[in-house]
Structure 1
Amino acid sequence: MGKETKTNACRILDKAKISYEEREYPVDENDLSGVHVAELLGVPPESMYKTLVLKGDKTGYLVILIPVAEELDLKKCAKLSGNKKVEMLPMKDLLGITGYIRGGCSPVGMKKLFPTFVQEEARERESFIISAGRRGAQLVLSPKELVSFLQGEFADCIQK
């Protein structure tokens, strides 16, 4: 990928000396789902994580990364983030809060560093795939390096 098209997330990771591989795919505006993107990239859906932004009733915004085929457990997320209740950030607020749009929201390079939780199974992976910060681009990198860089933590966030 050329320097002029590098995403903010890539520039931040470069500066932090965190290695990653960028993978591009053709964007289908009718299907922005992570499962569809995993199919386009030819990778198992459990290796690709979606970035979800929530708002807690006490602590404010938080970021959750879970495998694309999984469903978030809001009660678990509330408890682990010190909230009584959390809800998904309305789509209309995503760009203003994070600087990113749906289908291109990366946990790296948001306007602020929000508390970040990554589904605990990622800890066992050598690498996983997250958004590069724009539609059509994904990053393959180490979950442990990412969690450390974002000052996040591994936690159980999904419905079982």
Structure 2
Amino acid sequence: MKKNAEKTNVMRILEQKKINYVSHCYADTGVISGIEVAAVLKQDPNQVFKTLVTIGSSNNNYVFLVPVQKELNLKKAAKSVGEKSIGMLKSKDLLPLTGYIHGGCSPIGMKKQFRTVIDASAKNLDTIIFSGGKIGYQVEMSLDELKKALRFEVEDIVETT
């Protein structure tokens, strides 16, 4: 992890709100998948979360954070936000909607705050790690600290194997 890594907008928001976080940088590694990111950062993949943006049957958008090695269960996700059904947002729609590109999408600092649900497994962890808003950057913090920056719910939303 580079100590002098550049600051992302997410990090600026966290500092502005005086939220405790740790930044992780893997910008020069070329890894893309969340599981690779966890490996490069030498972190438990259960602790590293990916940010998924969805669209419900009502045309409302939702954000879900799930561990990188798990898959979002669309039925559970829809139920958690009171939708009949939910689908993944198309990659081309991500930047105009959130201000983020695929692979660098953070729940913090989106153009608009969408209803956000974090997988229940996060409750068992001291901290979670998720995108810092730019490919190559991650932030780590407790759910209590995250609450200072983001309204979210915690529900069981992943596929069970």
- TM-score bucket of the superposed structures, by smaller chain: over 0.9
Structure 1 residues 38-47 or 144-153, which shifts more? 144-153
Alignment of 1:60-99 (within 5 A): 60-99=60-99
Unaligned residue ranges in structure 2 (runs of 5+): none
Match of 1:149, SS?
Answer: coil
**Percent identity between the aligned chains?**
43
What amino acid sits opposite 1:7 in the alignment?
T
Residue 91 to residue 98, structure 1, CA distance change in 2 (3 Å): same
Alignment partner of 1:23 is 2:24:
yes
Task: Tell me the distance in 1 between the aligned counterparts of 2:93 and 2:102.
Answer: 10
Task: Tell me the distance in 2 between the aligned counterparts of 1:95 and 1:18.
Answer: 26
TM-score (norm 2): 0.92
Unaligned residue ranges in structure 1 (runs of 5+): none
Alignment partner of 1:125 is 2:125:
yes
Match of 1:45, SS?
Answer: coil
Task: Tell me the distance in 2 between the aligned counterparts of 1:157 and 1:68.
Answer: 13
TM-score (norm 1): 0.92
Residue 153 to residue 129, structure 1, CA distance change in 2 (3 Å): same
Task: Tell me the distance in 1 between the aligned counterparts of 2:159 and 2:11.
Answer: 31
Alignment partner of 1:10 is 2:11:
yes
Matched with 2:55 is: 55
RMSD across aligned positions (CA): 1.5
Structure 1 residue 59: Cα displacement: 5.7
- The 8 Å contact of residues 23 and 137 in structure 2, kept in 1 or not, is answered as yes
The structure with the greater share of residues assigned to helix is 1
Alignment partner of 1:41 is 2:41:
yes
Task: Tell me the distance in 2 between the aligned counterparts of 1:150 and 1:158.
Answer: 21
Where has structure 1 moved over 3 Å in runs of 4 or more?
A: none
